[in-house]
Amino acid sequence: MLWLKMFWLNKSSRPETSQRLQNISEWLATGAGQYLLESEKRIINQELNYIFGYHAVELSVSSEFQLLADSQVSRNFRFSTSPENRQTSQLALDCFQWPVKPASLDLVLLHHLIETSDRPHRLLSEAGNTIIPGGKMIVVGFNPWSLYQLTRLFSSKARRRFQGIHCISSRRMKDWLTLLGFRVEKIHQSAYLFPLNRLMKKKRSDLLEKQCSRWFLPFGSFYIIVATRETPGMTPIKSSWKGMNQPLVHQPIAGSSRVRENH
């Protein structure tokens, strides 16, 4: 009845969002986590070679990662959900009320934020609303149907680390993006053999990874979705970002980027 115990733990004692972010961030800094992170970076960099524009935003579980370092977009901004832990190069952000004008970004990268959020669909919607028609969104998430998620069932330490983390399948994420007006272009999966790959010779492990990727098997440890915003009848307009010269972190967070309804 291990699955029932895990379900009860997630429901009864779910850590705060900040603690969930910290747990994932700390794990990605370990040897095992670094293997996954490097695999993610490799795929992200491949996609960044084909994405151009004026403004891009990176929102990750950690302030240490610089996933848009090789971006072809002119100006890249790094947002932090934890103002007290942010770096000087980052801007503070409320995940559900982005201080960004609607339809003003060419690229948004969400790195393991969806599964740590209390309102994942709202976060995805808020991020999507800031992207121009024809702009891109890259979503990186843990795959719930992976070998790693299976092996962590037998590790109390891994269960505690991922407590409260709701892994969302790539199929469900695709459905959400479609409802928000995005066309999913690509779905990458990788790290199929993780963590058992450490018990194998590197040459054999790499060969099996390539075979799994070639066959588009659905059980990689993580997935990366690349989607394009589609808004029929709208023409992309380059917006003015003069306001970004003023510091946002010392001012109250702006209202939600979505258009509010009159009641």
- Interstrand relation of 55-60 and 105-111 (parallel, antiparallel or unpaired): parallel
- Residue 217 makes CB contacts below 8 A (sequence gap 6+) with 189, 192
Coil vs helix vs strand at 80: strand
| Geometric angle at alpha carbon 74, from 68 and 78, rounded to 5° | 40
Q: What is the pLDDT of residue 9?
A: 46
- Interstrand relation of 55-60 and 90-92 (parallel, antiparallel or unpaired): unpaired
Q: Taking the model in full, what pTM does it have?
A: 0.79
Coil vs helix vs strand at 75: strand
For residue 225, the cross-strand partners are 139, 187
- Residue by residue, pLDDT tens for the chain (263 residues) are 444 444 444 444 567 878 888 888 888 888 888 999 999 999 999 999 999 999 999 999 887 788 999 999 999 998 877 655 555 556 767 778 888 999 999 999 999 999 989 999 999 999 999 999 999 999 999 999 998 888 877 777 777 778 888 999 999 999 999 999 999 999 999 999 888 877 677 888 888 888 888 888 889 999 999 999 996 545 555 555 555 555 544 444 455 555 544 54
* Helical (H) or strand (E) element with 40: helix 31-48
The structure tokens listed for 232 are 């029929």
| C-alpha–C-alpha distance, residues 114 and 139, integer Å | 8
The structure tokens listed for 212 are 């799994």
The answer to whether 47 touches 224, Cβ cutoff 8 Å, is yes
Q: What is the pLDDT of residue 246?
A: 53
The answer to whether 142 touches 222, Cβ cutoff 8 Å, is yes
Full set of structural domains in the chain with CATH? 2-218 (3.40.50.150)
| C-alpha–C-alpha distance, residues 209 and 191, integer Å | 7
- Residue 97 makes CB contacts below 8 A (sequence gap 6+) with 126, 253, 254, 255, 256, 257
Residue 73 has phi, psi (to 5 degrees) of -75, 145
Coil vs helix vs strand at 245: helix
Q: What is the pLDDT of residue 189?
A: 95
| Pick from 201, 195, 258: nearest CA to 221 | 195
Q: What is the pLDDT of residue 162?
A: 80
